[in-house]
Amino acid sequence: IMTKHVFFDMDDTLTLSKSPMNEEHVPTLLALCEKSDVIVVSGQDEANIRRQVPYEAGRYYLLTQNGNHAIGKDGAVLWHEEFSQEQKDAINSFIKKVHDELALPVKDEDDLVEDRGSQISYSLIGHHEEVAKKKAFDPDASKRIQILREYAANVEALKELGVEMSAGGTTCFDIVLLG
C-alpha cells in the first residue's frame, strides 16, 4: 500500500538552507509525485521554493509561509492569509528593537528581513549568509530561544495582536499569524 500524502519540509530535508535540491534526488522526488500527493512545506515563499525544488506543473502541492499560503498542484491558490498593516508595523518595531540591541555583525543589512505576506522571517545574521556559517551560528536554536525569553513581554504583545514567533530555519525567527 502506497502512502496517499507525503509531506516534506524543505530546509535541511529536501535542500540545504537557501540552496537548490541535490540533482541526484530529483528523479526520486518526481517518481514519488507519480504515486502519492507530495506536499512541500516551508516558511519560505513560493518563488524561493520554486528556485530550490524543481517545479513541473501538476507534480506537487505547496504549503508556503508555514501553511498560510497553499497552492494546488495545478498552481491555483487554495488559501492565502496575510498580516494586517497593524501587525506588520508591530513586527517591524520588534525586529528593529532586537536588531539594534543585539548589534550582531552582519554582511548585508538588507538580507535580514523577508516579508513573505503571511510570514515575516527575521534572520539574525542574513538569509543568504554562507551555509556553514549559518549552521554554526545557532545549531540547536538555543540562542534564538533565549532571545525569545529575554523579549517575552514583546513576544506576548505581538501575540495579543494575533502574531506568534518561533525559532525557525538555521538563523531565523519565523513570525506568523497566531495558530
Residue-by-residue pLDDT tens, the chain, 179 positions: 578 999 998 888 888 878 899 999 999 999 999 999 999 998 888 888 888 998 777 899 999 877 788 999 998 999 988 999 999 999 999 999 999 999 999 999 999 999 988 889 999 999 999 989 999 999 999 999 999 999 999 999 999 999 999 998 889 999 999 98
pLDDT per residue over 119-168, tens digit each?
Answer: 899 999 999 999 899 999 999 999 999 999 999 999 999 999 999 999 98
Write the DSSP assignment of the chain as a string of letters: ---SEEEEETBTTTBSTT-PPPGGGHHHHHHHHHHSEEEEE-SS-HHHHHHHS---TTSEEEEEGGGTEEE-TTS-EEEE----HHHHHHHHHHHHHHHHHH----S-GGGSEEE-SSEEEEESS-TTS-HHHHHHH-TTSHHHHHHHHHTHHHHHHHHHTTEEEEEETTTEEEEEE--
